[in-house]
Amino acid sequence: MKKLYILLFSIIFFNLTFFSHSYEKKIITTIKPLHSILLNIVDTDVDLLLDSNFSPHDFKLKPSDMNKLNDADVLIYIDESIETFIERPLASIKNDVKTIKILGNANLSLLPIREGGVWEEEDHGDGHHHDHGDYDAHVWLSNENVIKMTKFLIKELSKINPDKKNIYKANAKIFIKKLKDNSKKVKKELASVKNKPYIVFHDAYQYFENENSLNSVGSISLNPEISPTPKRIQEIKSKIKKDNVVCLFREPQFPSRIVQTVIQDTNAKEGELDPVGFNLVPGKNLYFELINNLSNGLRNCLKGI
């Protein structure tokens, strides 16, 4: 009888141990680039809130999205200044959902929001203050920062799933090697156009520009949700003519007519850049597609291909 009790106890203990170790923490994240980075670290699926063709600046959470948040164990996001749709839900999601915020916690090399001249936010006279924070939150467009983010995420996820720490480290080692190799390739590709002046639709690319020594001279808008005023359009036109700007880059989620209006009666051409993977299919390779598309978009327009 005693042996039977010992056997039963062993079976129960084994099952409890098995299920406690086999239970996968459900991770959810906000935007495609961060989702892709996470998929290169973990060995499970990661849920994605903004998986359709929306800008993180104007995306609105649906009730089904709130259900996803409350059903998750871990929420990982960049910062409320970039994922504006997450700010209100953060105050109402269940207490047992662990939140991991990247900006301010991952020891990233941050660049301040550019101000002055054609980087300045317009005063629309609407009585609203559009708070974008002190620092540019498009941190995933820096190879150096993505490596730091990866190391930070290994540390944080290992606290949640300590038995997966070695898996995270092994996956991250492969990912970081690919990041470094791709960064060298992109620098080489952009070397021939790094002095060509260009203007972007909104100021989302300075991390990428800084690492690749590019010559961006302004943006149409600091806030992509707000159309530029006639005064602003005229300022950009003058800048294009004065600095011999080669290209003005639109973004796929915003109408082309604004860019067409600005470059009318100038020698500037229209190009396209995408900082979030708007038309890309979510997955492990999305991050590399995103960076390579930026490189190709810049070269094709600035070289006149």
Range 26-47 average pLDDT? 97
Residue 108 lies in a domain: yes
Domain boundary among the residues 122, 152, 184 is at 184
Q: Which helix (H) or strand (E) holds 56?
A: none
Q: Are 107 and 30 in a shared domain?
A: yes
Residues 156 and 234 both lie in one domain: no
Domain assignment of residue 234, yes or no? yes
In the chain, how many domains are there?
2
Q: 3-state DSSP call for residue 221?
A: strand
Report the pLDDT averaged over residues 260-287. 94
Q: Write down which residue in 127, 149, 184 finishes a domain.
A: 184
* Long-range CB pairs of 41-44, under 8 A, 24+ apart, other chains included: 41/150, 41/153, 41/154, 41/157, 41/168, 41/171, 41/172, 41/175, 42/157, 42/164, 42/167, 42/168, 42/171, 43/164, 43/167, 43/171
Q: Looking at the structure, tell me whether residues 93 and 175 fall in a common domain.
A: yes
Q: Are residues 223 and 296 in the same domain?
A: yes
Residue 219 falls within a domain, yes or no?
yes
> In this predicted model, what pLDDT tens digit does every residue of 80-112 receive, in sequence order?
999 989 988 898 898 899 999 999 999 999 999
In a domain, 71, yes or no: yes
Q: What is the rounded CA–CA span in Å between residue 153 and residue 140? A: 13
Q: Please say which residue of 154, 169, 184 terminates a domain.
A: 184
What percent of the chain shows pLDDT beyond 70?
Answer: 83
| pLDDT at 152 (0 to 100) | 98
Residue 129 lies in a domain: no
Integer Cα distance of 207 and 225 in angstroms: 21
Q: Tell me: do 104 and 68 sit in the same domain.
A: yes
- Identify the CATH number of the domain in which residue 61 sits: 3.40.50.1980
* Co-location of 270 and 241 in the same domain: yes
Q: Could you tell me the residue range of the domain that residue 86 belongs to?
A: 24-113+135-184
Percent of the chain with pLDDT over 90: 66
> Measured between alpha carbons, how far is 136 from 81 in angstroms, rounded to an integer?
9
Contact yes or no for 227/258 (Cβ under 8 A): yes
- In this prediction, residue 18 carries a pLDDT of 41
pLDDT of residue 114: 87
pLDDT in tens, 138-173: 999 999 999 999 999 999 999 999 999 999 999 999
pLDDT digits (tens, 9 = 90+) for 211-229: 999 999 999 876 666 778 8
Per residue in 228-245, pLDDT (tens digit) is: 888 888 999 999 999 999
Residue 202 — φ and ψ, nearest 5°? -140, 155
The average pLDDT across 19-33 equals: 77
The residue behind tokens 């047992």 is 96
Q: For residues 154 and 198, give the distance between their C-alpha atoms in angstroms, rounded to a whole number.
A: 37
Do 245 and 100 belong together in one domain? Answer: no
Task: Look at residues 109, 88, 301, 133 and name the one whose alpha carbon lies nearest to residue 223.
Answer: 133
How far is residue 159 CA from its own chain's centroid?
Answer: 24
Residue 46 shares a structural domain with residue 195: no
For residue 283, being part of any structural domain is answered with yes
The pLDDT value recorded for residue 166 is 97
Burial class (CB in 10 A: 0-12, 13-18, 19+), 156: middle
Distance of CA 106 to the CA centre of its chain: 15
- Among residues 149, 139, 202, the alpha carbon closest in space to that of 172 is found at 149
Dihedral sign from CA coordinates of 216, 218, 223, 229: negative
Considering the domain architecture, whether residues 39 and 172 belong to the same structural domain is answered as yes
- Given a cut of 70, whether residue 42 has pLDDT beyond it is yes
Asked, for residue 124, whether it belongs to a domain, the answer is: no
Burial group, residue 129, by CB count within 10 angstroms (0-12, 13-18, 19+): exposed
Residues 245, 139, single domain; the answer is no
Are 297 and 272 in contact, with CB atoms under 8 Å apart?
yes
Residue 277 has pLDDT above 80, yes or no: yes
Q: How confident is the model at residue 55 (pLDDT cuts 50, 70, 90)?
A: low
Q: What angle do CA 171, 174, 176 make, to 5 degrees?
A: 105
pTM reported for the whole predicted model:
0.87
- Is the distance from CB of 29 to CB of 46 less than 8 angstroms? yes
Residue 126 belongs to some domain of the structure: no
What does the alpha-carbon distance between residue 162 and residue 157 come to, in Å, rounded to a whole number?
8
What does the alpha-carbon distance between residue 173 and residue 77 come to, in Å, rounded to a whole number? 22
Same domain, 33 and 53: yes
Give the pLDDT band of residue 128 (cuts 50, 70, 90).
Answer: very low
Residue 135: pLDDT over 80: yes
64-68, 98-102, 121-125, 173-177: lowest mean pLDDT where?
121-125
Mean pLDDT of the chain: 87
- Please tell me whether residues 57 and 72 are part of one structural domain: yes
